[in-house]
Chains A and B, each alone.
Chain A
Amino acid sequence: MFSRVGSSFYRTAAWRLAVRSTAVFAVGSAAVFIVMYVMVARTVRDRSDSWLLGESDTLKQVALNTPRDALYDRVVEEVAEHATREAGDDESEGHPAGNTVFFAQTGDPSHAPVWVGPADSATFLNALSTMKISQGAPVSLQIKGWPAPFRVVAVDMRPGAGRLYLGLLDSISTQLLRHLLARFFLGWVAMVAFGFLITLFGLRRMLKRVDAITSTAASIRPDDLGTRVPAGRQQDEVARLARTFNNMLDRISSSVNQLRTLTDSVAHDLKSPITSVRGSLEIALSLDDREQSSELVARAIEHLDRLSDVITTSLDLAEADGGALRLRRESIDLGELVSRVVELYAPVFADRHQQLCVAAMTTAKIGGDVSLCTRMLSNLMENELHYAGANAVVSVSVSTGEGLASITVEDNGPGFSPELLPRVFQRFVKGAESEGHGLGLAFVSAVAVAHGGRAVARIRPEGGSQIVVKIPLATAATGEERQSADNVLSSR
């Protein structure tokens, strides 16, 4: 159980990211600490080196100027001891906590080596005899039994007079550096560990919100689209993800609802005509009277035409929704087209005791699909026929402005009901007393949008409804396009 939880934890992005960022941080901070340590160590060494150089110079002068008599040893030893005492506090037995200094003079054939320093002089002299000499610059020399290397400067006396060595073990500095190193290391470990935990917890907290989105997404079923991800009040990336996700859910849910409405409507709109067709034909079969039966058959055909109409418009709308409504663009004068449609419909309006009139008309060239535009206009007319009511006056006008052609259709009828107004261009939305399929205005809007325009509905302040369809006017460029398209067609 634990190992399963554990291993799944090690697979999380939080763990992986925390490990990676901590590794980078550890390497970086270690490099900084090392550079700092090296700089401190060099400063400390430089200090002891400069003391060694100065003192060795003094000792050389003393050794050279002192006559080689019985007192020579004493004098040199005296000076060396003085010097060692100056730097080191302790020259007693063992390995002291303080500084240790030694002085040696070797290689003078007329004289025995002089030694001032720790008691085990043989070890030192041995080491000195094998060491590499760098004239005038201190070098490090490790002596057996001592915890740290000595810094040793070797100075040649005049030729034949041998060599003079001065060594210093700066224990205090060494210890200081060691402490520093230990502190640095501990500090580094603490920093890396702390950084790792902070990163890990931060990432865990953030990615838990992502996990919440994941589990919400996993819990969504087609029959339950109500679940939403908690988005919080933050403005960060995860909050944006959550909000985007919620928006997507909203859209899906509205699509699904629309689909449900569609299915219901299709079921209703298709099944009722099918039922009446079937019924009519059944009765027609059983009738002996030919006139009566053909009347029924005719009615069945009319129902079928209506059915075909619903299917056609539904398919067009489905295509328009999918962005697949292909336009066969050509230059159309909307003013002329509207006039023709009005001419076609005017007697129908008169027949229903309504009046259809043209309020204003102008030339409005657009690049559009004639068939779709004609059907759009006929839908607008039929919408008025059905909803404006008896004795209504319907006026149509075409105007241009701001690069748009506007077709305005308004009436003095009952207008849209306020709760319907925002949705009149949606599919299957229809008034309570409507006998239509609720596709007419949806189609109007779809055609307007396909032409780069839009349809707007509103209730006129003086009563009645108003629908305005705006479609961009043809530009010079689309005119040329159309010409070349014409050439292709005519050259066929």
Chain B
Amino acid sequence: MRLLVVEDDNTIREFLTRALAESGFRVDACSQGSQAEKLALEGVHDALVIDLTLPDIDGLELIQRLRSQGVTSPVLILSARRSVDERVRGLEKGGDDYMTKPFAVAELQARLRALLRRSTPGQSETTKLRVGDLEIDLIRREARRAGVELQLTQQEFALLEYLCRNAGRVVTRAMVLDHVWKMRIDTSTNIVDVHIHRLRNKVDRESERPLIRTIRGVGYLLRD
């Protein structure tokens, strides 16, 4: 998977390149809108990460130009501004997702993966997820650990499903709030931790091999 990162701030560009390269992407990076346009038109990138404040042209305009010239790769917009208005405008101009700085690298990776999944269809929707000896049935809404059915509330099931779908990958608290509770709130309170703690009590208590791990400062990871 090849990415194009367009970001004028050197520090952020370098750190993005490094972080994305470490998670297995091939990354091209540039700081100018015009340069980005040229690179993107080569058509070799699977996804674009574009910052809105570029020195030569506005990020939104760049996206619009690329779209009008037939570039269909998904675009993830980065911005320091955070108004709802701008978010909607960004999505209207042809962006596919929007993130405000500061963001967690885990979230950036997750969003990019989601975008790439969307753009490469053909994945069959599974009805069962399995991680180690944890098994969840999405149709019956049942979860079993080592064959024993877990008594989960609706919220707990949704949370476990989200973790299983992202098994092996770190999810942040904001991602959990966004995807499980459909709420975009910034909070310094440990709401998500409390829910994870309850879920862990049910999923990992009886087992010697805990599945749900806390990655301090970042989020959670469900892995066998």
Interface residues of A (CB under 8 A from B): 294-295, 297-302, 304-306, 308-309, 312-313, 315, 319, 326, 328, 340-341, 343-345, 347-348, 351, 369, 371-372, 374-375, 378, 382, 385, 492
Contact = CB atoms under 8 A, between A and B. Distances in A.
Contacts of A308: 102, 186
Contact of A382 (B155, B187, B194): B187
A295 B184 CA distance: 27
A340 B191 CA distance: 13
Nearest to A350: B194
Contact of B195 (A306, A328, A340, A347): A347
8 tightest A-B CB contacts, nearest first: A298-B217, A298-B216, A301-B217, A328-B84, A378-B185, A348-B194, A326-B85, A306-B188
Contacts of B195: 344, 347
Nearest to A437: B188
B58 interface: no
A308 B189 CA distance: 14
Given A298-B217, A344-B183, A375-B185, A369 B84 contact: yes
A335 B83 CA distance: 25
Interface of B: 82-85, 88, 92, 102, 155, 177, 181-191, 194-195, 197-198, 215-218
Contacts of A298: 215-218
A344 B155 CA distance: 9
Nearest to A308: B102
B189 A309 contact: no
A295 B216 CA distance: 7
Contact of A371 (B84, B188, B191): B84
Given A301-B217, A340-B181, A348 B189 contact: yes
A122 to B, nearest CB: 109
B189 A382 contact: yes
A385 B195 CA distance: 16
Given A304-B102, A328-B84, 5 more contacts: A299-B217, A301-B216, A309-B186, A309-B187, A347-B198
B217 A378 contact: no
B191 A348 contact: yes
A375 B217 CA distance: 22
A294 B218 CA distance: 12
9 contacts: A298-B218, A301-B216, A302-B217, A308-B102, A340-B182, A340-B183, A374-B184, A375-B186, A378-B183
Contacts of B217: 297-302
Contacts of A302: 216-217
A411 to B, nearest CB: 16
Contacts of B189: 348, 382, 385
Contacts of B181: 340, 344
A374 B185 contact: yes
B105 to A, nearest CB: 11
B187 A294 contact: no
B218 A351 contact: no
Contacts of A351: 194, 197
B187 A378 contact: yes
B191 A492 contact: no
A76 B218 CA distance: 140
Contacts of A313: 186
A254 to B, nearest CB: 27
B198 A312 contact: no
Max chain A CB contacts within 10 Å: which of B92, B102, B177, B185? B185
Contacts of A340: 181-183
A345 B191 contact: yes
A312 B184 contact: no
A312 B186 contact: yes
